[in-house]
Amino acid sequence: MKVVTGSEMQELDKVVINFLGISAEVLMERAGLGVAEKILSYYPLERYRKVLIICGPGNNGGDGMVCARHLWDMDYEVKVLLLCKKEKYKGEALINLKILENLNLSLEEIKDLSVFKNLLYSYFPDILVDAIFGTGLKRSVEGVFKEVIEEINT
């Protein structure tokens, strides 16, 4: 495995999409499936069942939604927390949000830290997937995003 910086990863994505002709949808599907497969290999269903996936507003959130769908298909009990209103999702992330809605997967919009903490500690997941931000983040993290990340890290 090679380690790349955020800007190198963005450049690789551009090359794959623009020169190889692999669509952003396919990249998102592969990323989400890859995470789901790793979870299955490290956290077998016999011991780990409940998964909480926290999705941010961009493509990383979309990757998390794809992961949620695959884990659900593998028989994990999956709950997805959205850190923004559904109307803010666009592109491939929105497509995958609609798929989760069509499957009736558990989706919750998180408006503030107290709502997040209530869901986190009442659900008590075996596995938590951070799909909040990816390599494209160029600003400081603030608001509910910062609060949720700090709570996860405690």
Among 35, 128, 6, CA closest to 79: 128
Q: Give the whole-number percent of the chain exceeding pLDDT 70.
A: 99
Q: What residue type is assigned to position 60 of the chain?
A: N
Q: What residue type is assigned to position 102 of the chain?
A: N
Among 45, 62, 43, CA closest to 53: 62
Note whether residue 1 is domain-resident. Answer: no
Q: Which residue has the higher pLDDT, 10 or 63?
A: 63
Confidence of residue 71 (pLDDT cuts 50, 70, 90): very high
pLDDT reading at 81 higher than 90: yes
pLDDT reading at 32 higher than 90: yes
Structural domains of the chain, count: 1
* DSSP class per residue in 24-89: HHHHHHHHHHHHHHHHHHHS-TTT--EEEEEE-SSHHHHHHHHHHHHHHHTT-EEEEEESS-GGG-
CATH number for the domain spanning 31: value is 3.40.50.10260
Note whether residue 93 is domain-resident. Answer: yes
Note whether residue 148 is domain-resident. Answer: yes
Give the mean pLDDT of 99-127.
Answer: 96
Residues spanned by the domain of 133 = 6-152
